Structure 1
Amino acid sequence: MHSNVYLPEEFLDEMKAILPSHLSMDDFIAACQRPLRKSIRVNTLKISLPAFLERAESKGWTLEPVPWCEEGFWIEADESQVPLGNTAEHMTGLFYIQEASSMMPVSALFDTEECDYDSVLDMAAAPGSKTTQIAAKMENKGVLVANEFSASRVKVLHANIERCGVRNAALSNYDGRVFGGWLPEQFEAVLIDAPCSGEGTVRKDADAMKNWTKESVISISDTQKDLIESAFHALKPGGVMVYSTCTLSLEENQQVCHHLKETFGDLVEFENLSKLFDGADKATTEEGFLHIFPQVYDCEGFFVARLRKLGSAPAPKVKKRLGKFPFEKATKKVEIEIAAQLKQSLDITLPTDASVWLRDNDVWLFPNALEPMLGEFRFSRMGIKIAEAHKKGYRWQHQVATALAQGDESNSVALSIEDAREWFMGRDVRPENLSGQGEVIVKLGNDVIGLGKWVGNRVKNGLPRELVRDKNLF
């Protein structure tokens, strides 16, 4: 029990004033004091749902479906020996530990008939739970721009994208307010999971409300209004936006959406989410938003709104000084040569919806859908780095394995559990009675975990430093 959860009196008065009549404050407080149930989302970029369920059963995990996310499950697992985050399945990117309610915004974004989006913006992306969920929904096609304002959190975002095998993302590190002017009407869908006061998060952080004040709620809502306007300008006419927060106040939720409607009038349409999943009507507001108090679905407090842009609006004018773009698109001849060498050395085929770009000796793979934005905006990282050129050919990189390999390639080596532990701790391994030459795809079972290089009977470790773990592994 989190009976020591801090809930300021002023906050409780605010909640009492906005709590729907069919809900009780006693239940609200009791829910805030209960620890969250642990939940995970299966990463379908790496494994099918049936295959994962089979594996979970073999490990003795008990799964209960999350109603609003087909890939989401509450999980009961014995973590006394190994935490879920250190299991082989998590480290190979087969699932993401994600709070159940935070799966809802992406489900809402893709709950439309025309949700085969070619361009999506995730405006506040770190640590990457929703970004990787979007990428899986897009099946790694099109382009997903994942923006994070905090520079220190971009590294975490990239590590999660890398672990989950995402290859259609372009990362940026800006205040989200820049998108409306810099990339107007560029995206078919936008997710803005806005920075907020976090009133819904007390179930995982007993001190989340220690610094809560009404003044800070008002201040944050002003920022949110700027962000939702920027997101609206970045959206193509006819496009869909989901606005979400993990907070409960009207100022940060309904009033932000109404601000957008007041600003742009008939260009903004609220879309009703009461049929998003069975029981969604229990949390639906009169506008069709989902305002989720923690006792309703036994999850975090959350807010989700889906809006549609019905026409064009003049975007803010900006002066652009981009500087020289440091990449050059590879010629068809060079791309064919790289594809042939990759196929020959690792039995991996380049995808047809991406192109090779070069910067000095680095070889990158950018999603084709990103190209219209390259002359308009500067990203901190685009697509995946697949190789470094050197005198004798190409030195392949970690993501060429984790984002492009399927696990059935001929040039691969399957490690024992013991060797895989060593691998994830950043050490070289010596698979029993095996030796080889050149680079090799490294697997645990049939799951690709990285790229190594044979040096006699030793496989030299190629795991990026940010993915190295030091103890207590599966």
Structure 2
Amino acid sequence: MHSHVYLPDEFLEQMAQILPKHLSMDDFVNACQKPLRKSVRVNTLKISVADFVELAKQKEWELQPVPWCTEGFWISADESNVPLGNTYEHMAGLFYIQEASSMIPPSALFSHEQHSEFESVLDMAAAPGSKTTQIAALMNNQGVLVANEYAASRVKVLHANIERCGVRNAALSNFDARVFGGWLPERFDAILLDAPCSGEGTVRKDADALKNWSISSIHSIAETQKDLIESAFHALKVGGTLVYSTCTLSEEENQQVCQHLKNTFGDSVTFESLDNLFEGASDALTSEGFLHVFPQVFDSEGFFVAKIKKLGKTQPPVVKKRMGKFPFEKLSNKKVQELTNALKSALNIDLPPQSSVWTRDKDVWLFPQELEPMLGELRFSRMGIKIAETHKNGYRWQHQVATALAQPNECRCIHVSLEDAREWFMGRDIRPESESGKGEIIVCYNDTVIGLGKWVGNRVKNGLPRELVRDKNLF
């Protein structure tokens, strides 16, 4: 028990006023003082759920399905020697350590939809990337996923997680998300606004989450949330889907923000009930059809999720744009074919369909085709994946070729030992026994791609980006 969890008296008074009649305050307080169960989400861009379940059996990990996410599991594992985050399965992107409640918003966004219908999706507050990578997997790396993060310091973490999980259809931006309604009006099929909030639902993982809690701060945050949800609604296509979520409990930041949207845009806004999202959803359902998840209901973090459809056009704010010259140039069909042949010859890897190749100086980038109409409308900090650098003798392939394009049983690769895999993730060169070669090579361990190296005689030079290197407590 975490009896030292800070729960201000005024906060408890507020919760007593909004707690549904079938729930008790004693259970609420007890749940807040109870440590969270650890949960993970299988990254289906890298491994199937069935294969992960079999892998977990071999590792003696005990799994319990998360009811609202077919890829989600509560997990019980011996971490006394190696934390889950330092297993090769995690570092290679086979799974994401993600709180179970935070899997609800992407599941709600894609419920009752054909995934192929979402050609353009916006994640307005994306870092550190749990929901972004979940959405990318639900999109199967098709279409375009714009992942925005306001805090510049968190964009690097967002990109590292996207890279680790093999996401190739994302474009990253670094803006106050209030700009999207004016800059990209009615451009997205689906939008997730996991809004910045007071974090009342997070005390089970952060005992001090409510140290600075106050009614006045909640009202201030709610005003920002109202601005953000208006921006999201303007950026959404007519007929599109918006999911609004928070990891907080106050009605001011949840129901009242959604009602503000309805009051502002009237009949253009309709709320879709989440009662059939999963078995047991009715235990957290509000009269509007939202999910208001108190921590004792599903033994999880507190969360709020609303699903909204846009039925009519809106008048977006008028903005003045100063974009400057776009620094990338699209590669000619002839050059694309040359690149395709070179990649196939070097690593036996094909370029994916529905992507386009662009260059900037000597760098070669793969963009999702659906991004192209937005290129002159918004400045992105990073788009697609960098696959190569050009030099006088051809191409120097990059790490994301391995993470986002390589298939372990099809590409040109070398299968390494446990000891070499450990060295690899520590950023060191490896010397596979009795082998040598030349040029770039995909490095695999246990039928899983773990990186891109380059032969230097009988040594494979390590190409792992610094942000993915681990230096202790490895598998």
- TM-score, normalized by length of structure 2? 0.99
| Residue 184 of structure 2: aligned partner | 183
Alignment of 1:5-404 (within 5 A): 5-116=5-116, 117-404=118-405
Unaligned runs of 5+ in 2: none
Q: Measure, in 2, the Cα distance between the counterparts of 1:337 and 1:115.
A: 33
1:3 maps onto 2:25 in alignment: no
After superposition, the CA RMSD in angstroms is 0.6
Write the letter of the residue equivalent to 1:260: L
Q: Tell me how far 1:322 sits from its aligned partner.
A: 0.2
SS in 1 for 2:252: coil
| Residue 427 of structure 2: aligned partner | 426
Write the letter of the residue equivalent to 2:19: L
Write the letter of the residue equivalent to 2:232: A
Write the letter of the residue equivalent to 2:164: R
Q: Measure, in 2, the Cα distance between the counterparts of 1:347 and 1:35.
A: 47
**Contact conserved, 2:121 with 2:145, CA < 8 A, in 1?**
yes
Q: Measure, in 1, the Cα distance between the counterparts of 2:467 and 2:5.
A: 33
Q: Measure, in 2, the Cα distance between the counterparts of 1:414 and 1:207.
A: 46
Per-residue CA shift, 1:91-113, capped at 9, x if unaligned? 11000000000000000000023
Q: Tell me how far 1:408 sits from its aligned partner.
A: 1.5
Q: Measure, in 2, the Cα distance between the counterparts of 1:222 and 1:380.
A: 27
SS in 2 for 1:226: helix
Q: Measure, in 1, the Cα distance between the counterparts of 2:86 and 2:61.
A: 15
Alignment of 1:408-423 (within 5 A): 408-423=409-424
Write the letter of the residue equivalent to 1:37: R
Q: Measure, in 2, the Cα distance between the counterparts of 1:196 and 1:225.
A: 12
Unaligned runs of 5+ in 1: none
Q: Tell me how far 1:445 sits from its aligned partner.
A: 1.6
**Contact conserved, 1:346 with 1:409, CA < 8 A, in 2?**
no
Q: Measure, in 2, the Cα distance between the counterparts of 1:262 and 1:405.
A: 49
Write the letter of the residue equivalent to 1:352: P
**Contact conserved, 2:188 with 2:237, CA < 8 A, in 1?**
yes
Write the letter of the residue equivalent to 2:163: E
Q: Measure, in 1, the Cα distance between the counterparts of 2:376 and 2:177.
A: 19
Q: Tell me how far 1:410 sits from its aligned partner.
A: 4.6
| Residue 445 of structure 1: aligned partner | 446
Write the letter of the residue equivalent to 1:375: G
**Contact conserved, 2:68 with 2:278, CA < 8 A, in 1?**
yes
Identity rate, percent:
74
Q: Tell me how far 1:369 sits from its aligned partner.
A: 0.6
Write the letter of the residue equivalent to 1:26: D
Q: Tell me how far 1:352 sits from its aligned partner.
A: 1.2
Q: Tell me how far 1:415 sits from its aligned partner.
A: 1.2
Write the letter of the residue equivalent to 1:5: V
Q: Measure, in 2, the Cα distance between the counterparts of 1:410 and 1:171.
A: 28
Q: Measure, in 2, the Cα distance between the counterparts of 1:434 and 1:220.
A: 59
Q: Measure, in 2, the Cα distance between the counterparts of 1:153 and 1:410.
A: 33
Per-residue CA shift, 1:73-129, capped at 9, x if unaligned? 000000001000000110110000000000000000000234431000000000000
Per-residue CA shift, 1:237-282, capped at 9, x if unaligned? 0000000000000000000000000000000000000110000001
Structure-2 change in CA distance of 1:28 and 1:363 (3 Å): same
Write the letter of the residue equivalent to 2:308: L
Write the letter of the residue equivalent to 1:226: D
**Contact conserved, 1:247 with 1:303, CA < 8 A, in 2?**
yes
Write the letter of the residue equivalent to 2:152: A
**Contact conserved, 1:202 with 1:209, CA < 8 A, in 2?**
yes
Q: Measure, in 2, the Cα distance between the counterparts of 1:52 and 1:6.
A: 37
- TM-score, normalized by length of structure 1? 0.99
SS in 2 for 1:342: helix
Write the letter of the residue equivalent to 1:257: C
